[in-house]
Amino acid sequence: MEDVLAYIGIGSNLGDARANCLQAAKRLAKADSRLKIRLSSLYLTEPQELKAQGWYVNAAAEVKSPLSAQDIFRLLHHIEDEMGREREARYGPRIIDLDLLFYDDMVLDTGELIIPHPRLHERRFVLVPLCELSPDFEHPVLKKRVCDLLKEVPENGQRVLRIEVEN
């Protein structure tokens, strides 16, 4: 199979959230030597649906891969499980959250896997790191570039602050 471009959302707000996000990206890179990964900057982001929790650290990863969408989805769940992800409260605190956002221009809904991610166009914590990686990537359903989708999402209640990384 020819390599495709996939985009992964990465987030954490439990423990050392910054280290958790970086660890998840490392695990993804080590899971299959054929994966070529480019990671965005890290961002401190305001929680959304469930406000009474700590802020998140979020990032996005661009992945060139020969794997199918379903294989990437299973790999992401495997990494979450390895890192101790517990699926208790929806939108609640989590040690790691890995979401398959885009898989080339695929549109898919299996019930378990929906591509593109159904709410990414409403979330600054997803769009800001995506715009850093690929501002001109076009949402295959909405037919808008991710940088244009970001302009449509109000900042109010969705603060996203770039984290400076020490050398």
* Catalytic residue from among 27, 85, 123, 124: 85
Identify whether 94 is a catalytic site residue: yes
If you search the block for the tokens 């982001």, which residue do you land on? Answer: 45
Identify whether 148 is a catalytic site residue: no
**Cis preceding linkage at 116, omega within 30:** yes
* Catalytic residue from among 3, 32, 99, 105: 99
Q: Which residues of 4-20 are buried (b: 16+ CB within 10 A; e: fewer)?
A: bbbbbbbbbbbeebeeb
Identify whether 16 is a catalytic site residue: no
Identify whether 97 is a catalytic site residue: yes
> Catalytic amino acids?
85, 94, 97, 99
